[in-house]
Amino acid sequence: MCRYAAVVLLLFFGNVFHLSHSTQVNVTDKDGKLCLYANLTASFSVSYEVIPDKNITVSFELPKNVTTEGSQCDTKSSTLKLNFGEGHSLSMNFTMNGKVYQADSITFSYNLSDSVRFPNSLLNETVSVTTKPQITNVGVDTCYSCKSKDLIQADLVNVTLSDVLIQAFVSNGSKSEQITSCKADQPTTPAPPTTHSTNATTPPPTTTPTPTPTLPTPTTGKYSINTVNSTACLLANFGLRIGLKQGEKYQEINLEPNMTKATGSCGANSSELQLTSNSMTIMFSFTSDTTKFRLHALNFTTKTSSGAEFSEVNTNLSLWEATIGSSYMCNKEQNYTITSLLTLYTFNLQVQPFKVTKNAFSTAEECQADAESFIVPIAVGVALLVLILIVLLAYFIGRKRNMATGYESF
């Protein structure tokens, strides 16, 4: 009985905790041997036209189940093509150069006539965008690995790759256990200080590098935009941290609410919130259709520690989406890749850019991360209840048998 209960618990928890997926494929050659292996997670953000001069943006993920028709490999070049949905595909072309190989291009093709992923599209054609990924100098007989997120931008499309494991040239039909890691996954070590000594018998002084301080959790700021009669038309509460990348240098900055001024505007279909501090300016632009709102653009400007101006903008976002008349909430820490050089971290987030009533947030629609936080305690509670019922059932069955045995012996 206890063994049965353990099996029930394992199956239950296995289903509960499998919340995310990656796509894994094996490409074989004409002899049926493995020649290309891939395991990766990919998400797509596509902006498309619904009426003349009006675009909307949709986001979706590469499904777990794909086909590999069009994939091929030989000794000098190989192609990985992942087909899904109604005419969509993600493909990469690889070439071998001596003892290393690289990805020459990545192509994302999407079919705008797919009314499920692209509702109300003005066009009914297949669009392809091609760019060059940062997959280079991968050693022969090794797998390319990159757990970090890699944002690839092309025209009206953003493709984000993560948890990538690819071996484009498999020899002897068996995937290699050796790894070539991407640059983003490799730890950075400070260069040793250069010292000069005129006395060979005197050891040079050692210098201990100063560690980069860890920023505290940002303070949650409360911001609002009011109409002419001093009624709130936009509300936003969040703690905010900005990650900047300039060349090889990466730094993070917390937004200080008590040193930040909020300005903006409210409209029927668009609203803006601009936060200005002594070190940065951030413009959040929201848009709405008849049913939902979302953050569709972000413009960020600051001066780095070296005094250089840093400015990044993305006008093809689709974040913080909720129904008109409600607010969007995400209490857990979230990070968003705005561009390849700009990352946004939010804490205790709640926003409502449209139809604010009585100067207060309306009912919140929670993000997936908040919703998932309730799954584990509920799962534990249900599992314990099932286990208790099983133990009680076993107890009563055993007691009934003992009583029956007692009557017979009497």
User: Tens of pLDDT along 202-232?
Assistant: 455 444 444 455 689 999 999 999 987 889 9
Band of pLDDT at residue 12, cut at 50, 70 and 90: very low
Mean pLDDT, residues 113-139 taken together: 90
Q: Say yes or no to pLDDT of 391 above 50.
A: yes
Q: Say yes or no to pLDDT of 305 above 50.
A: yes
Which residues, including other chains, have CB under 8 Å from residue 73's CB and lie 6 or more apart? Answer: 27, 29, 35, 36, 79, 168, 169, 170
Band of pLDDT at residue 237, cut at 50, 70 and 90: very high
Identify the structural domains of the chain with CATH numbers, from first to last: 21-185 (2.40.160.110), 221-372 (2.40.160.110)
Q: Say yes or no to pLDDT of 300 above 60.
A: yes
CA dihedral sign, ordered 312, 318, 322, 326: positive
* pLDDT at residue number 149: 85
* pLDDT at residue number 4: 38
Q: Say yes or no to pLDDT of 196 above 60.
A: no
Contact status, residue 246 vs residue 260, Cβ threshold 8 Å: no
For all residues of the chain together, what is the average pLDDT? 83
How many of the other CB atoms lie within 10 Å of CB of 153?
A: 16
* pLDDT at residue number 75: 85
pTM above 0.75, yes or no: no
Which residues, including other chains, have CB under 8 Å from residue 298's CB and lie 6 or more apart? Answer: 282, 283, 284, 285, 313, 314, 317, 338, 344
User: Tens of pLDDT along 322-332?
Assistant: 999 999 999 99
* pLDDT at residue number 219: 94
Least confident of 86-90, 169-173, 304-308, 371-375: 371-375
Cα torsion 185, 110, 19, 23 to 10°: value is -60
